[in-house]
Amino acid sequence: MSAHSPFTVVWDKNQRAALEQLVHSRTAPLRRIQRAAVALAAGDGVSNAAIARSHRLHIATVRRWRKRFHHEGMAALEDRSRPGRPRRYGPEVHLAIVATVTSVKPAPDSQWTHRSIAKSLAAHGISASQVGRILADLDLKPHLVRGWLTRPDDPDFHAKAAEVCALYLHRPPGSVVLSVDEKTAMQARSRRHPTRPARPGDAERREFEYRRHGTASIVAALDVHTGQVLVEDIARNDSVTFIRFLRLLDGSIDPALTIHLVLDNGSSHVSKATRAWLAAHPRFIVHHTPKHASWLNQVEIFFSILARRLLRRGEFTSRDDLIDQVRDFTLAYDNEARPFRWTYDGTPLKAT
């Protein structure tokens, strides 16, 4: 016992074992670990000043804890109730807020706001700001929405995916594998005022206002195993246009090669006219991606590159200018094209 403290702290064998276990705990709160360490030192008769120095605590804190251990024993390890204003809104208000947020949207609005929730709960006298604090505590965010897609019940989904991926990973002998799709409604826009180029310490600056010059669409065929792309301007996305593109492929590819087409389920790809033309040209073998699985179509990767590198920040004075720039981009792309590194084999990515 310290000669400088009138409060004696004594622990029996079981209490000391419990305190030592708490001191070496990796999951207990820091304040409980600190109190247990002070309790052990106080039980060993270490002075308040020495305990404060070794544990980097204020000596007044050590005095207060030693006094508590003297009077309360092990119960002094627990936090005491703190003073403060009692909670104004009890569990029933929290439940009412949850019920409101998860109920039908408030007409004529399309979503709940803090103000509209507070208005609907006017009987509880709660403010919009307090609604916000309660929602934050409950991790409820009525202003956010996440999209999702219900995949059609297709028992052959993974079989179809595996068939497409097998073509990507292993080209059949004497054949060419083409990933084909359309990119529609590309906007030809130009800024009303010139763009200011970037300079040290200042990002590129673009005027918000722009002029519209119409839209353009293309159909593209990506050679999966070389990475090169053939792009054609199209005025309409229909069977007639698509069959015209198939004729172009038929005439420009070595007749000795079989043509494997990877297509999605767009109307122009599955129409009666398209199916009849393909049936009359057996060198074309079609492999449709499963529904809602356009990510399996490799040409979509090229479209993403086109959007990032040209369309998103490009300046186009007319529809023809847009098409010309797309053609120039594609030619430059083909000069350095390499196949995409495809590793997915079509098997389920996780248990379903």
In a domain, 287, yes or no: yes
Q: What percent of the chain has pLDDT over 70?
A: 95
The answer to whether residues 106 and 227 belong to one domain is no
Rama region for 72: left / alpha / beta (φ>0; ψ in -120 to 50; rest): alpha
The answer to whether residues 118 and 221 belong to one domain is no
Q: What percent of the chain has pLDDT over 90?
A: 53
pLDDT at 242 over 80: yes
The answer to whether residues 97 and 223 belong to one domain is no
> Please, are residues 290 and 160 in contact by the beta-carbon 8 Å criterion?
yes
State the pLDDT at residue 350: 58
pLDDT at 6 over 80: no
pTM: 0.66
The answer to whether residues 166 and 278 belong to one domain is yes
- The tokens for 94 are 């929290």
The answer to whether residues 47 and 166 belong to one domain is no
pLDDT at 15 over 60: yes
pLDDT at 105 over 70: yes
Confidence of residue 5 (pLDDT cuts 50, 70, 90): low
Mean pLDDT of the chain: 89
In a domain, 350, yes or no: no
In a domain, 277, yes or no: yes
Confidence of residue 352 (pLDDT cuts 50, 70, 90): very low
In a domain, 202, yes or no: no
Confidence of residue 349 (pLDDT cuts 50, 70, 90): low
The answer to whether residues 134 and 241 belong to one domain is no
How large is the average pLDDT for residues 42-51?
90
CATH value at residue 249? 3.30.420.10
The answer to whether residues 292 and 247 belong to one domain is yes
How large is the average pLDDT for residues 163-175?
94
How large is the average pLDDT for residues 211-219?
95
Looking up tokens 């009525």 gives 142
CA proximity to 162, closest of 289, 249, 48, 274: 289
144 or 107: whose pLDDT is higher? 144
In a domain, 245, yes or no: yes
The answer to whether residues 321 and 224 belong to one domain is yes
In a domain, 99, yes or no: yes
The answer to whether residues 278 and 215 belong to one domain is yes
pLDDT at 184 over 50: yes
Domain hosting 227: range is: 157-197+207-335
Torsion angle, CA of 306/307/310/311, rounded to 10 degrees?
130
Confidence of residue 29 (pLDDT cuts 50, 70, 90): confident
State the pLDDT at residue 243: 97
Structural domain tally of the chain? 3
State the pLDDT at residue 266: 92
Give buried/exposed letters for 71-103 (b at 16+ CB in 10 A, else e).
Answer: eeeeebbeeeeeeeeeeebeeebeebbeebbee
pLDDT at 1 over 50: no
Among the ranges given (31-45, 136-150, 168-182, 302-316), the one the predictor scored with the smallest mean pLDDT = 136-150
Crossing angle between the packed helical segments 272-279 and 239-252, to the nearest 10 degrees: 20
The answer to whether residues 295 and 172 belong to one domain is yes
pLDDT at 351 over 50: no
| pLDDT (tens digit per residue) in 247-304 | 999 999 999 999 999 999 999 999 999 999 999 999 999 999 998 888 899 999 999 9
Confidence of residue 4 (pLDDT cuts 50, 70, 90): low
In a domain, 151, yes or no: no
How large is the average pLDDT for residues 17-42?
89
The answer to whether residues 271 and 328 belong to one domain is yes
The answer to whether residues 266 and 161 belong to one domain is yes
In a domain, 145, yes or no: no
